[in-house]
Every structure is written in C-alpha cells, then in structure tokens.
Amino acid sequence: MSEMKDVGGFSQGFSRRSFLKAGAAAGAVTTPAFAAVEVLAPAAPPRDIDLLIAGCDVVTFDDKNTVIMDGAIAVKGNAIVWIGKASDAAGMFSAKETLKASGQIAMPGMTDTHYHTAQQFLRGVHRTTHRKGPSWKKILIPFESGLDEHDVYNSGMVGYTSMISAGTTCFLEAGGPHPDQMGKAADEVGIRGRISLNTCDLDGDGGPLPKSHIMTTSQALKENEALVKRWQGNSRVKAWLSLRQILVNTEELRISMSKLAEELDTAIHTHLSEGTYEVDYTMENYNMRPPEYFESIGIFNKRMHCAHSIFLTLDDVDCYAKHDASVAHCAFGNYNGGPQRMLDMVRAKIRVGLGTDGPNSRGSLDLFQVSHYAVLGQQIGYGTAWHAPAQLTYSDMLRHACRGGANAAHLGDKTGSLEVGKLADVVLVGHDDYDQFTSMDPTLTLAQNCVGHHVRSTIVDGKVVMKEREFLTVDIEKMRADVKQRYPRMIDRYEKAILLTSG
Ligand SMILES: [Zn+2]
C-alpha cells in the first residue's frame, strides 16, 4: 500500500485583490505564494485523448495549491495527462468527448472516509428516543439486521448516487451486512470505494446482538478474507477488512485480523474512541486507553483506519502519529460527543480525512457541509476561547476533504489532487447561483460558498458519471420506484427488530 502525508495549509491573510491581480497576470497562480505556473503538464502529452474538460477555473489542491484561471484538463483512459490554460488546450488535443465547463470550477473528488451504506434508509426516520446504551447497538445494528441483499443493493444505489451528486468520488464503508451488494451498486454507479463486512464476534455489554450480526472468530476471519479476495480484481471497488468496535470484538479476532491485513496488503476499518463507554471499557479491562491498548497488542499501525477518534488525550494523539493510524473526522456527529483534536492531529501529520458517518448522522452525505461543520467545531475548540482566528480555515478543511481523505484511503499518490499522472476523479462545481454571487476567488468560493447541490458534473476514473446533474450510469426514476415499493416492508422489519432490543 502506498500513501502520502499532507498537511498543506492556506495562509490566513489571503487577499482577493492580490489573487485577481496575480491571476490576470499569470493565468495560473498558487496560494499563498502566488508563484506563476504556465503549464503543469509535460511538454508533449498525447494528442489523442478521451476527455477534455475546458474553460473552468482549476483548483488543483496540489502541493503548491495551484489555481489555473480559465483552464483545461486532458484525460486519457482513467488518468489526467495534461492541465493548463484552455487557450493552449484548444490546438493541442483531439478529444473523443469535450465537457464545456466555462463558469464552473474544477476540483478533485472528495473521499468520504466513514460511511455506513446499510444505514442509508435511516435517512429521515432516526428515532430520537433516549434509550439506554449506545445508539449503534440499540438502533443502528437492529436496523441493519432487518435488511436483505436487495435492500443493501438499493441502499448503495441511493447512497452512492447521492455522494456523486455532492462531489464525493470515493467512500470507505464502515462495515455492514451483504457487502458484495454494496460493491455491485458501487460498480454500477461508477464511484470509487472500499466496501467491508460488519464484523462482530462478541455480544458485549447491553444485551445480545441480532443473530445475523454475530459470527464466530474463525468465521469472521474467513468471511473477511474471502470478501477482500473476491474484489481484488476490480480496480475501482475493493474490499477492506473490518472490526466493528472494541466492545463487540474479541482480542483474538483483533490480533488475527491485523495479521490478515498484513498478509492481504489491505486495511482495517474500525470505530475507535467514539464513546466514553469505550474508554471506560478498556480502562476497566486493560487499564489502558483505547489507542494505548491497540498499541499494546501490536495492532496499531498504518493499516488501522479509526472512525471518529473523539475521546483522545494528547498522548493518544501521539500514539496515532507514532503508528501512522488514519482517522475519519465525522463532524456532523462527532461534536455531539465532545471537543475534537483535529488540529492536533493535523499538526502531528496524522492522515485525517472527513466522513459523514452515513445519513443516519444528519441525513446528508455532503462533505462540503461536513467541512463547514468541522471548521466551526475547530474554531470553538481552538480559537474562540483564546480570542484567536480559526486555526483551520475553510480552504484548509476542503483540502482535507480531498487530500486528507485520499491519504486516509491509502490513495494519496493516486487521487485527492488534480495533477498529471493522477486518476481523473474530477468534480465540476457551478458558482453563479443566487447564494454565490459574487465569487471571484475559486478556492474561497469552493470552500465557503459551495455545498453539494452546486456540483454540476462528476467524473470518476476518467468516466463522466453525472453530467449537468443527469446520471449517465443509473436510471434514477427506476431506482426510486423500486425503493418506494420495498420501503414499507423494510421499515416494518426494523420496527420488529428494535422491539427485541428494547429495555
Ligand atoms: Zn460509524
């Protein structure tokens, strides 16, 4: 596996006037240094290309945060082969397809680093009851346990189209039932993803898990291994291993899963330090905090992807950094738990991306909005009390949604920025809506004045998946009709399942 570290930040004192001056003079500018770049590409790219995206301002999020006004991106196969000025591209290429994108901004696709496919249809139905015990055990797992294969396939179709429509081109599944159906849906929609299987081999505290959600330790290992192997041949959709949560996994499974990750050269998606109960649990059982405990049994390493990571001491942050474990910062739900150490993580060069935690968290799969929440959360945690400005700006945070997410997904050398040689995961965003006028600085416009519905077109792996908000890969009306027809039975099963866990 390969990955890149990224902590690139934007200056606090970014000036729109100086940006426009530099942009007009050079055509391509970088922030904050405003160094002029004429062309980002090799001198002799291929003439025959598959796709030319032309006329848009290009926000690359490369190492220099280069921005090209009135730019163009040339794509051959699934890779970016040239980026430069639209006026130069006009005579250089013979393209099979051209996307005219003037009046739009091109940016890298974002990665949702923590998503629950199987909770898609909890959108809008989440009970806000005050039930004893963690909600994931009392509500989320019972809901998942009532889903059949077709429900999970439909969940994927609805969830992944929702992501594509909001500029997310890659997702990391947290682990749910029927993962092959997630993969099938991801393949059809055209999104990049890492699916995984819900993996519990222990009932834990707070009552038994539904029978369909618990396996023996050896069965858990076998099924995880088989899943990863089944998807190894797919270049866009692959499978990761999963450990659902400390309370519902045995130590034997944790250690064996870590060895399996090494053997299969893959990663493990888990929830870590999400609830105070987890800290209490590891303190009571091992006299250690969760990351310290993972370290003590030799499973804390670059293959461990840790969703939430809320309840951390500064020593815990150091532990993550020491072992290069990655983090999904899920701002919609995280701040219900407590203050977050995202800034400390960024400074410690931890691979931290943004995640939605699925639609159960707030109903939205829009990472633009997650990044806005995260900026405010970090401001409260690190700025306001000391009469200081935001320590992570809106531009910093959007960059983390792109590059931080790619790094957490072990795709940092392939996605997360628009650069020659990287995969063509490109999002085109409009900036002339009522709530955006005036917008002169493309980076600030993306970071502060855009949300998911401003996305016009999305390209994944060089293929146009959504064009001017029309899906080219999915019959949306047919998909919605099938969901509507099956929905009442699915909710009925959920009602019955939560009755069983009441009390
Ligand atoms: Zn989760």
- The token pair at 17 is 């006037």
Query: In this structure, is residue 299 part of a structural domain?
Result: yes
Q: What is the pLDDT of residues 16-59, one digit of tens each?
A: 444 445 444 444 544 433 333 444 555 588 899 999 999 999 99
Q: Are residues 184 and 44 in the same domain?
A: no
C-alpha 204 to ligand 1 mean position (Å): 17
Q: Which of 354, 383, 408 is the last residue of a domain?
A: 408
**Stretch 346-355: mean pLDDT, rounded?**
97
Q: Are residues 248 and 175 in the same domain?
A: yes
Per the structure, the count of domains in the chain is: 2
CATH, residue 149: 3.20.20.140
C-alpha 197 to ligand 1 mean position (Å): 13
DSSP letters, 383-446, are TGGGT---SS-HHHHHHIIIIIHHHHTT-TTTSSS--TTSB--EEEEE--STTT-S---HHHHH
Q: Are residues 81 and 226 in the same domain?
A: no
CB 201 within 8 A of CB 215: yes
Q: Are residues 118 and 261 in the same domain?
A: yes
Query: In this structure, is residue 33 part of a structural domain?
Result: yes
Query: In this structure, is residue 1 part of a structural domain?
Result: no
Q: Which of 382, 408, 434 is the last residue of a domain?
A: 408
CB 106 within 8 A of CB 427: yes
Residue 157's φ and ψ, nearest 5 degrees, are -60, -45
CA dist 175 and 108 (Å) reads 26
Q: What is the pairing mode between strands 470-471 and 426-430? A: unpaired
Residues 6+ apart with CB under 8 A from 284: none
Domain with 189, as residue range(s), is: 110-408
pTM over 0.95: no
**Stretch 74-102: mean pLDDT, rounded?**
96
Q: Are residues 118 and 102 in the same domain?
A: no
Query: In this structure, is residue 496 part of a structural domain?
Result: no
What is the structure's pLDDT at 430? 96
Count of CB atoms within 10 A of residue 474's CB? 19
What is the structure's pLDDT at 125? 74
Q: Chain-wide mean pLDDT for the chain?
A: 89
Q: Are residues 357 and 435 in the same domain?
A: no
C-alpha 370 to ligand 1 mean position (Å): 15
* Half-sphere exposure in the Cβ direction for 269 (13 Å, CA): 31
Percentage with pLDDT > 70 across the chain = 88
C-alpha 481 to ligand 1 mean position (Å): 28
Residue ranges with strand state E in 220-261: 237-239, 241-243
Least confident among 25-29, 347-351, 399-403, 472-476: 25-29
Query: In this structure, is residue 449 part of a structural domain?
Result: yes
Q: Are residues 165 and 307 in the same domain?
A: yes
The percent of the chain in helix, strand and coil, each rounded to the nearest 5, is 40, 20, 40
CB 201 within 8 A of CB 250: yes
CB 62 within 8 A of CB 419: yes
Least confident among 132-141, 161-170, 199-208, 485-494: 132-141
Name the β-bridge partners of 73: 53, 83
CATH, residue 39: 2.30.40.10
C-alpha 269 to ligand 1 mean position (Å): 10
**Stretch 266-283: mean pLDDT, rounded?**
95
Nearest to 250 by CA among 292, 219, 283: 219
Count of CB atoms within 10 A of residue 234's CB? 14
C-alpha 102 to ligand 1 mean position (Å): 38
Looking at the predicted structure, is the pLDDT value of residue 416 above 70? yes
Q: Are residues 63 and 207 in the same domain?
A: no
Q: What is the pairing mode between strands 79-85 and 463-467? A: unpaired
Nearest to 231 by CA among 195, 269, 267: 195
Q: Are residues 35 and 161 in the same domain?
A: no
C-alpha 64 to ligand 1 mean position (Å): 33
CA dist 206 and 384 (Å) reads 38
Q: What is the pLDDT of residues 92-144, one digit of tens each?
A: 999 999 999 999 999 999 999 999 999 999 887 765 554 555 667 777 888 88
* Dihedral of the alpha carbons of 284, 331, 399, 421, in degrees to the nearest 10: 70
Query: In this structure, is residue 211 part of a structural domain?
Result: yes
Query: In this structure, is residue 488 part of a structural domain?
Result: no
Q: Are residues 150 and 234 in the same domain?
A: yes
Model confidence at 10, in pLDDT bands (50, 70, 90)? low
Q: Could you give the residue ranges of the DSSP H alpha helices within 7-166? A: 16-26, 86-89, 135, 141-145, 149-165
C-alpha 176 to ligand 1 mean position (Å): 10
Looking at the predicted structure, is the pLDDT value of residue 13 above 50? no
C-alpha 142 to ligand 1 mean position (Å): 14
Distance, C-alpha 119 to centroid of its chain: 16
Q: Are residues 100 and 225 in the same domain?
A: no
Query: In this structure, is residue 140 part of a structural domain?
Result: yes
CA dist 328 and 307 (Å) reads 5
Q: What is the pLDDT of residues 440-462, one digit of tens each?
A: 899 999 999 999 999 999 999 99
C-alpha 386 to ligand 1 mean position (Å): 32
Q: Which residue has the tokens 């974002």?
A: 110
Q: Which of 355, 383, 408 is the last residue of a domain?
A: 408
C-alpha 71 to ligand 1 mean position (Å): 39
Q: Are residues 149 and 92 in the same domain?
A: no
